[in-house]
Amino acid sequence: MLALLLAALIVGYMAGRTRPYDRLADWADWQVRFHLDRWTTRPRLLALFTLLLVTDPVRTVSAWRRRKNP
């Protein structure tokens, strides 16, 4: 049990240090700006949203609720 907790803490720490959501957000932003193909962009945005939801659910849901789309 202690090993599992320690492994979870290490994985969480590494995810926080590498900031995968920032890298994926930059990648998805570049993909959306320069590749406006509907069938390939939507899965990329879904991957970004899923990763953001997993890594930072509070801010992701808050931003999604307060988005400024018409």
Cβ-in-10-Å burial (0-12, 13-18, 19+) of 36 comes to exposed
pLDDT per position as a tens digit, 18-62: 777 777 777 767 766 776 666 677 787 787 788 778 877 888 888
Res 7: pLDDT: 92
For the beta carbon of residue 23, count every other beta carbon within 10 angstroms.
Answer: 11
Rg (CA), the chain: 15
**What is this structure's pTM?**
0.46
Structural contact between residues 49 and 56, judged by C-beta atoms closer than 8 angstroms = no
Predicted confidence (pLDDT) at residue 70 exceeds the cutoff of 80: no
